[in-house]
Structure 1
Amino acid sequence: MNLQKVLAHQFKPIEHVLQPRDCMLYAAGIGLGARPEHPGDLQFLYEKALKVFPSFVNVIAHPGGWVQAPELEIDWVKLLHGEQAFEMHRPLEAGKTYVGTFKVTDVVDKGEGKGALILMQKTLHEVGNDDPVGTVTSTYFLRGDGGCGGTTSAAPTPHAVPERAPDGTCVLETLPQAALIYRLSGDYNPIHADPVIARKAGFERPILHGLCSLGVATRAIVQAVCGDDSDKLKSFRLRFSSPVYPGETIATEYWLDGPVVSFRARAVERDVVVLNNGRAEILE
């Protein structure tokens, strides 16, 4: 990795028209519609008074594969998505046009042979209005780029999940074809569709997109804690700890402490924690 060029990289603002069809397709991709007659699901899938599910903020106006630019010298093949967070300043609205602006906020050098972390921020605002609608932060683990220097040596401390028994669990199934639906929202990485490429990457079969798994966990918190009112979700963050395979059942355990909800999610069939150190903030 060329640290100076990574820090100096200029991202072009990206406009995204939030078409109602795209909003509904995203909602279907994260499994909404499993309750096909329930208003809590239909509000995101039916064009009458359509609402936009908040975790869609992670997907729209995305800079794409910028890490593959040759001048950055990033070993992008060894990149892993480590953490993701978003904060909603006001709800997204179907039919409006949004602009995403991006910057690298920090690079954490873990040392030679230990990799590095790139921390990014996306700010989303409506065209003609500079007030932010949503803020998204992402942490990427560059396994092949340790020892290249950084802006800091200290990674952000993950949120600690309480040691007591959870206050509740929301169990949601994923479809066997979930990755094939979700990829239509813009992430066409073949490890989510092509069995041959997935096996070459070290997986037994195509895996679910990390942001799709995040969407499932967001569904769980909105459904179980917010009473299906997505406008109550102020912020959401988690750490990706293990891949999810399409068709698996995701059990999200949660702990309530006033407006703060701690959570983690487990793939039931393998008894593996797939999302960890989760923290959501709920508007009261």
Structure 2
Amino acid sequence: MPIDPAKAIGASLPEQRFTWSSSDVLLYHLGIGAGSRAGDATDPAALRYTLDSDALTVLPSFGVVAPTFHVTEPPSLDMPGCDIDLASVLHGSQEIHVDGPIPASGEAVVSTRIAEVWDKGKAAVIVQEGVATTPAGEPLWTVRSSIFVRGEGGFGGERGPSTALPVPDRAPDAVAAYDVTEQQALLYRLCGDRNPLHADPAFAAKAGFPKPILHGLCSYGIVLREATALLLDGDATRVAGFGARFAGIVFPGETISVEAWDDGPKILIRATISSEDPDRDGAPVLADCYVVKR
């Protein structure tokens, strides 16, 4: 049986010890489009992401990728009770909540467990939770993520909750657009995600796509960076958490439109594709998307 919930749920994954440097942070920020607009090379707000100075600020989404940043092999799917194929996997959702600003360099350990396994009929959803701490045990951040495994449902498990976080029924408070570059996925994969789905045309075709797609976590970082610029004055230290459900794919060369609503303690976000192609224009990128303010 490819997925055995009895073995999977509650199982701990191998503990990961990792380090990161300011060079890793800078590469991550460049991978999610920081510094790409005209004037960013001299803009103090943009340079907070791209210059290794005392003003360097870490976007909290970096914490999601930090544990695997130096991995050069495709992601491992070696999880107790889960015998699944990488070509069948898509990122379902991602959350991170930080206990304080992430330092520009450091050392940490992350402990992860399989929290839930849901049976969606034609697919399965596997939910993982992780806690990152310093070697001394001081909390740094917590993450919760899910993967969507096509063709692995129907094992008789619970379907799981259906939740939604609608945006307000009014015009957004701020909007932005980011033009994804043709090489964006090739650059972002240097941040530790070597899944060939994002670089190898033959592998992408096997997975059912006409060409490689952008990493979901790259879109995730782009949207957080844009929302932070729109409603938090570009100050990443004001972000306490960020969560989203991956609602659609992005191809390199497309434009991600970001609409943001200031909703008190949170910023609510809608991210879609802006395209001249009527089949792609308005296609969702992230849904149930929010920033928790500090």
TM-score (norm 1): 0.91
Matched, 1:4 2:14: no
Q: Which amino acid is 2:83 matched to? A: E
Name the residue aligned to 1:22.
Answer: 24
Name the residue aligned to 2:147.
Answer: 140
C-alpha distance in 2, partners of 1:167/1:51?
25
Structure 1 residue 2: Cα displacement = 1.9
C-alpha distance in 1, partners of 2:123/2:205?
23
1:58-105 deviation line (CA, Å, top 9, x unaligned): 101149744245963235432221111111111111221011110111
Contact 2:58 2:101 in 1 (8 A): yes
Structure 1 residue 26: Cα displacement = 0.6
Contact 2:22 2:52 in 1 (8 A): yes
Greater shift, 67-76 or 133-142, is seen at: 67-76
Match of residue 194, structure 1, among 179, 182, 200 = 200
Contact 1:30 1:215 in 2 (8 A): yes
C-alpha distance in 2, partners of 1:138/1:222?
21
Contact 1:88 1:133 in 2 (8 A): yes
Name the residue aligned to 1:88.
Answer: 98
C-alpha distance in 2, partners of 1:76/1:178?
21
Name the residue aligned to 1:233.
Answer: 239
Matched, 1:119 2:127: yes
Contact 1:68 1:76 in 2 (8 A): no
C-alpha distance in 2, partners of 1:156/1:91?
32
Structure 1 residue 232: Cα displacement = 0.5
C-alpha distance in 1, partners of 2:264/2:42?
31
Structure 1 vs Structure 2: percent identity of aligned residues? 36
- Unaligned stretches of 5+ residues in structure 1: none
Contact 1:18 1:93 in 2 (8 A): no
Distance of aligned partners of 1:65 and 1:183 in 2 relative to their CA distance in 1, 3 Å threshold: closer
Structure 1 residue 147: Cα displacement = 2.8
C-alpha distance in 2, partners of 1:191/1:120?
21
Name the residue aligned to 2:211.
Answer: 205
Q: Which amino acid is 1:42 matched to? A: L
Match of residue 78, structure 1, among 79, 88, 110 = 88
Equivalent runs, 1:202-281 vs 2, <5 Å: 202-269=208-275, 270-271=280-281, 272-281=283-292
Equivalent runs, 1:25-40 vs 2, <5 Å: 25-34=27-36, 35-40=40-45
Q: Which amino acid is 2:147 matched to? A: Y
- Unaligned stretches of 5+ residues in structure 2: none
Distance of aligned partners of 1:5 and 1:43 in 2 relative to their CA distance in 1, 3 Å threshold: same
Contact 2:96 2:242 in 1 (8 A): yes
Contact 1:108 1:154 in 2 (8 A): yes
TM-score (norm 2): 0.88
SS of the residue 2:67 aligns to: coil
Match of residue 58, structure 1, among 53, 56, 64 = 64
Distance of aligned partners of 1:191 and 1:73 in 2 relative to their CA distance in 1, 3 Å threshold: closer
C-alpha distance in 2, partners of 1:255/1:84?
20
Aligned residues: CA RMSD: 2.0
C-alpha distance in 2, partners of 1:256/1:51?
22
SS of the residue 2:128 aligns to: strand
Structure 1 residue 57: Cα displacement = 0.8
C-alpha distance in 1, partners of 2:8/2:138?
27
1:14-72 deviation line (CA, Å, top 9, x unaligned): 11111111111111000001222212221122111132221101101149744245963
Structure 1 residue 256: Cα displacement = 1.5
Distance of aligned partners of 1:33 and 1:226 in 2 relative to their CA distance in 1, 3 Å threshold: same
- Tell me the matched-pair count: 279
Distance of aligned partners of 1:202 and 1:91 in 2 relative to their CA distance in 1, 3 Å threshold: same
1:149-199 deviation line (CA, Å, top 9, x unaligned): 44x443251322223222221212222111111000110111211222222
C-alpha distance in 2, partners of 1:163/1:66?
41
